[in-house]
Each structure stands twice: as C-alpha cells, then as structure tokens.
Amino acid sequence: MNKILMMLSLVILIISTSCHSEKEHKEEDTYLVTSPVRMDTSTTREYVCQIRAIQHIELRALESGYLQHIYVDEGQHVEEGTLMFELLPIQYKAEYQKAQAEANYVLIEYKNAKILADSNVISPTQLALIEAKYAKAQAELEVAKVHLGFTQIKAPFTGLMDRFQVRLGSLLDDGDLLTTMSDISTLWVYFNVPEAEYIDYKKNMKGDTLLKVKLRMANQQLFDHEGIVETIEADFNNETGNIAFRATFPNPKALLRHGETGTVIAKIPYKNVLIIPQKATFEVLDHKYVFVVDENDVLKIRRITVGAEMPDLFVVKAGLAESDKILLEGLRKVEENDKIKYEFQDPKEVISHLKLHAE
C-alpha cells in the first residue's frame, strides 16, 4: 500500500512539474502577432470548360437524288460560297426548262391579249385573267429555279469541313446529313460557376467591366490569347446550383477546334476586403478559428467566416476587425486564456512574404 502511495505521489509530482515547466516555457517564449489588413486583391479560380466554335452547323441535302460530285475534302478549310456537293440535277433541270417554256408561252399569249385589249377586241377582264396566268407561270419558274439551285450545296460561311456522312453516288433523301461545318476563327468557351462565386463576381465587377479569363489547354499549356466573358445564362441549374458563363476567345491560328476541353482560369477581383494569413488560422469541425490577443495579452479563441481563399491567404467576411491582434505562429503551443509575450509584425510586411495578388 505504501508503495502504491509513493508511486501516485511521484506521478503527481512529475505532472505538476511538467505543467509548471510548460507554463513557464509559454511565458518565456515570444510569439509573432499581427493584424488583419484591408486592401484590394484578387483570387484565381479554375473551371473545367467546353470549347465550341462560334458557328457549328449541319449540312443536309435539300432535295432527293444521287450525289453526283464532292468538290471538297474532310478537314478542308473552305471559303464562303464554295461549291461543296452537287446532286444529279437532270430531273430539276427538266422541271426548270418546262417551267421556263410555260412562262414564255404565257408571255406571248399576254402580249397578244394586250394588243387585242387596246383595240377593244377583248375586255379588260379577259386581259387581267391572262396577266394573272402569266404571273402564275413566273412564280412556278422561280420555284423550279430554287429547286434546281438546291442541287448545289455551297458553304454558308468560311470554315472547316468535318467528316463526310455520305459517299459519291449515294442516293439521298431530302434532309439527309452530308457533314458538319465549323467556323473556328472565334471560339465560345462555356464553364459553370457556383452561385456564391457568381455573387462575388457581380459584386466586385464595376459597371460594364468585362471579366478577362485565360485558357489552359489539354496539354497544360496556356492558350496565347485572353478571352472575355460576354454572356451569362439567365437561370441557375437547380440540380447543380451553377450558372453557365460564356467566354469569347480569338483563334487566329486555328489551334483549337470545336469540341475540345480545357480549364478556364479567372481572376476574380475583391475590393477593400479584410485579409489574414492562412497560417494564423486553425480548423475545428469545418469551422475556422484564430487566437486573438486581448488588452491583457491573453489569448482568446474566435470563430471567423471565410469569404474567399487564395494561396496562403483568407478573405475574412466576419469575425475580425482591423484593430484586432491575431497570433501568427505557434498556434499548437498555446491554449485559450494563455498569457503570452509577443512581438507585433506589421500586417503589410507579413503579407509581402506570402502569395498575394494585390492591386
């Protein structure tokens, strides 16, 4: 029994000595302390994106018939108005010639009737009927001309041909897909932005200022040209909570193609916000906290709300003021209500050694 009491006394003595030693050690150490700083800054955010040509259309047969000629090749760059496909036009040529002959016949009939009407041989009503017949023949001629023109498919704009869906000699029906065509001189790049980030963007962009973005391609290289966010969709997606942005990129060297993917890099500005170093914070159950030094040099734990995250930095939405002093280093060595010695370091000096996009 005496031995047990001696052992317990020894353990208590060791713990007491250790605690006393630790307390003395805390009081002897000098800790770095700083304050939040208010300034303009920006954060970089990345979004997976889809790359689309400014024009990407399907080319389809407008009439039925045999595909007689293909004048272009897959992947070829074609100019607007270039003849690409031609259907066998025999039937449509015949219909056009028939309509033309009918129009010529009715024209002669109308001219003769006009002479007779001028001589009062026939009534004005009879002349009007023949004139209407001539107008009908002219309209039928125009329709036949249009149908004949449909046998030739020409490029509606300057762009790139895609894979052919038909081959020479194919029997086509009205509406059959021939190929697709893209204008990639300019690209539309779509990416989805969460609701909170959309609100930050709208709050911090001034007036009609447009957000400029960069594009990281699939090979992890940055695209040579910057894009501009010109369009935001009207509605949020209720399932994802995102809204689609569309950035426009020039593509003068035709490096990028329709259907590629990449990553949009957006620099989001923040005006007059409160910033602290990330290393001054610690996390408990998904909440961020800092140690605040009070007027008696005693540490108090305070919960903060983070508005945005940057490399090495947090934008603080709530929980701190510029006048507060926060523990910068040694957070694991101290506890709440510890009294410490500290050295105050100017927040701008602290920030200057961290990764910051200041403006």
Q: Are residues 220 and 309 in the same domain?
A: no
Give 27's Cβ-side CA count (13 Å radius).
7
Provide the token pair at 254: 């035709």
Q: What is the pLDDT along the chain (359 residues), one digit of tens a residue?
A: 555 545 545 445 444 444 544 454 555 688 999 999 998 887 888 999 999 999 999 999 888 888 889 999 999 999 999 999 988 876 777 677 787 888 787 788 878 878 877 777 788 888 788 888 888 878 877 877 777 777 889 999 999 999 999 999 888 888 899 999 999 999 999 999 999 888 878 877 776 778 899 999 999 999 999 999 989 998 999 889 899 999 999 999 999 999 999 999 988 778 888 999 999 999 988 899 999 999 999 999 999 999 888 888 888 989 999 999 999 988 888 889 999 898 999 888 888 877 544 44
Residue 314 and residue 165 share a domain? no
Number of structural domains in the chain: 3
Residue 122 domain boundaries:
59-180
Tokens at 44, concatenated:
């970089």
Q: Are 297 and 341 in contact (CB under 8 A)?
A: yes
Cβ atoms of 205 and 218 within 8 Å: the answer is no
Encode the chain in three state secondary structure: CHHHHHHHHHHHHHHHHHHHHHHHHHHHCEEEEECCEEEEEEEEEEEEEEEEEEEEEEEECCCCEEEEEECCCCCCEECCCCEEEEECCHHHHHHHHHHHHHHHHHHHHHHHHHHHHHCCCCCHHHHHHHHHHHHHHHHHHHHHHHHHHCCEEECCCCEEECCCCCCCCCEECCCCEEEEEEEEEEEEEEEEEEHHHHHHHHHHCCCCCCCEEEEECCCCCECCCCEEEEEECCCCCCCCCEEEEEEEEECCCCCCCCCCEEEEEEEEEEEEEEEEEHHHEEEECCEEEEEEECCCCEEEEEEEEEEEEECCEEEEEECCCCCCCEECCCHHHCCCCCECEEEECCHHHHHHCCCCEEC
Residue 203: CATH number of its domain: 2.40.30.170
Q: What is the per-residue pLDDT for 3?
A: 52
229 & 288 share domain: no
247: Cα separation from own chain's centroid: 5
Residues 103 and 161 in one domain: yes
Do 173 and 219 belong together in one domain? no
Say if pTM beats, i.e. exceeds, 0.85. Answer: no
Name 13's Cβ contacts closer than 8 Å, sequence gap at least 6.
none
CA end-to-end span of the chain: 73
Same domain, 101 and 169: yes
Question: Do 238 and 310 belong together in one domain?
Answer: no
Contact 267, 212 (CB under 8 A): yes
In a domain, 238, yes or no: yes
Q: Are residues 175 and 111 in the same domain?
A: yes
C-beta separation of 130 from 110 below 8 A? yes
Amino acid at 88: L
Residues 170 and 204 grouped into a single domain: no
Q: Could you say which of 208, 238, 270 is where a domain stops?
A: 270
Do 191 and 227 sit in the same domain of this protein?
Answer: yes
